[in-house]
């Protein structure tokens, strides 16, 4: 199918303090970290699909769409010009589509500069399609804010995987490890519930951005969360990634917190799990890079509710690979699947009683140059439109833990409870 020719215009605007009022209350598109990032409104064009070839077809379709676009972007900053927001399924067998969506209007902020991008079809009037989303008048077009709706709270309860069922699943994973089927497997559980009809979902993103400013706060096609884990960033030929694997709760006071971080850094179980994840990323990136380096030892990354073991990876891109090509090469990493990857994914498919959808899949954005930022969709929930008028909005949250030899089912269950906290607290 021949893609349409899109007309893309980026212009600098006055400083934007809060990006979220410029996206839809019911269908927000957002990518924010430490206040910078961008939000989108409406849909100028979208790709979607599922199955084994989806990632490759999305990458090819994006290249064609970008090549055909008429782009006027005098700023040239990461996130300006033609941009698509994406949320991709964890498993090719998922019933949930992977999506790549180009908004009609994007408002962004980075490094003290703010901008608006309008995206229209070449065969449409240049201003007609975006006129309802931008101010009208004699001067430059300015994006329109939509005030936040009233506060709301959601409810979450047991999902398809109960706490007892999860501990049994962990034991099944340990049995598979003992049998030599895998060296590591990441197992998740779910919480299910709802939020009131008409809820302004931007409030959830706002709460996450406030409480977890160092994470990637994202909202794409009903998937909303705050991920601490960068899958891959591509900018100007440089490739970076941050690997997180190995987790422990924060301590109750300063001494206990220091002890928790030290125990994590010296834990053979956690350092082994982390090394699995680092080697998985390095092996996936090497074919696409000229030079690639990772820190010699992991560092402890402090978040409001947990400590993680973390390793930063950086390389120089080789060839014309785009961020989506690297996403396809990297996913799924050992941090969210296990090792060997294919065997771990099969084990997850056999043990978990639910479809992960886009949980633990890639989420982020890509521009016309193939640059972009992608995280792993963690600390998140999927919101689905009401099945009937006036019905609540269904919500499903997910959390998982890495299982290696020596893992304890009850300890892993506690780890999932800690990882649920960001989304559960924000919903409350």
**Which sequence positions are flagged as catalytic?**
184, 229
CA distance 376 to 330: 11
**Where do we find the tokens 């055909």?**
68
Return the half-sphere exposure (C-beta side, CA atoms, 13 A cut-off) of residue 280: 28
Pairing of strands 230-235, 45-49: unpaired
Tokens matching residue 417:
């409870």
Task: List the one residue out of 364, 356, 273, 377 whose CA is nearest residue 326.
Answer: 364
CA distance 94 to 25: 27
CA distance 342 to 354: 18
Which of left, alpha, beta for 357 (phi over 0: left; psi -120 to 50: alpha)?
A: left
CA distance 66 to 334: 32
Return the half-sphere exposure (C-beta side, CA atoms, 13 A cut-off) of residue 371: 13
Count of C-beta atoms within a 10 Å radius of residue 127: 12
CA distance 399 to 320: 35
């Amino acid at each position: 199918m021949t893609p349409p020719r899109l007309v893309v215009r980026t212009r600098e605007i006055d400083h934007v303090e809060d990006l979220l009022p410029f996206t839809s209350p019911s269908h927000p598109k957002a990518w924010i970290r430490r206040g910078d990032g961008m939000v989108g409104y409406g849909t100028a064009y979208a790709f979607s699909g599922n199955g084994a070839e989806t990632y490759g077809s999305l990458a090819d379709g994006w290249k064609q769409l970008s090549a055909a676009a008429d782009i006027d972007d005098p700023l040239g900053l990461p996130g300006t010009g033609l941009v698509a927001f994406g949320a991709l399924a964890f498993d090719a067998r998922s019933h949930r589509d992977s999506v790549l969506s180009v908004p009609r209007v994007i408002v962004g902020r980075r490094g003290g500069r703010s901008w608006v991008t309008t995206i229209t079809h070449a065969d449409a009037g240049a201003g007609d399609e975006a006129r309802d989303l931008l101010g009208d008048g004699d001067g430059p077009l300015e994006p329109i804010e939509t005030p936040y709706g009233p506060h709301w709270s959601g409810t979450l309860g047991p999902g398809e995987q109960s706490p007892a069922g999860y501990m049994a699943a962990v034991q099944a994973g340990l049995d598979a490890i003992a049998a030599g089927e895998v060296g590591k497997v990441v197992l998740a559980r779910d919480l299910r519930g709802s939020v009131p009809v008409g809820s302004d979902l931007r409030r959830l993103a706002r709460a996450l951005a406030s409480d977890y400013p160092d994470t990637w706060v994202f909202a794409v096609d009903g998937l909303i969360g705050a991920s601490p884990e960068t899958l891959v960033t591509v900018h100007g030929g440089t490739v970076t990634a941050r690997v997180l694997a190995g987790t422990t709760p924060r301590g109750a006071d300063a001494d206990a917190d220091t002890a928790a971080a030290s125990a994590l850094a010296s834990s053979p179980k956690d350092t082994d799990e982390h090394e699995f994840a680092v080697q998985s990323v390095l092996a996936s990136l090497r074919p696409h890079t000229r030079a690639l380096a990772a820190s010699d030892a992991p560092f402890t990354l402090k978040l409001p509710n947990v400590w993680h073991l973390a390793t930063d990876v950086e390389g120089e891109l080789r060839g014309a690979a785009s961020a989506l090509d690297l996403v396809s090469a990297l996913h799924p990493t050992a941090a969210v699947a296990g090792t060997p990857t294919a065997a771990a994914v099969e084990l997850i498919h056999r043990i978990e009683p639910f479809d992960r959808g886009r949980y633990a899949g890639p989420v982020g954005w890509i521009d016309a140059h193939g640059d972009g930022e992608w995280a792993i969709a963690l600390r998140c929930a999927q919101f689905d439109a009401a099945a009937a008028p006036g019905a609540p909005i269904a919500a499903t949250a997910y959390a998982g833990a890495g299982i290696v030899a020596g893992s304890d089912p009850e300890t892993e269950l506690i780890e999932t409870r800690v990882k649920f906290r960001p989304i559960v607290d924000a919903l409350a």
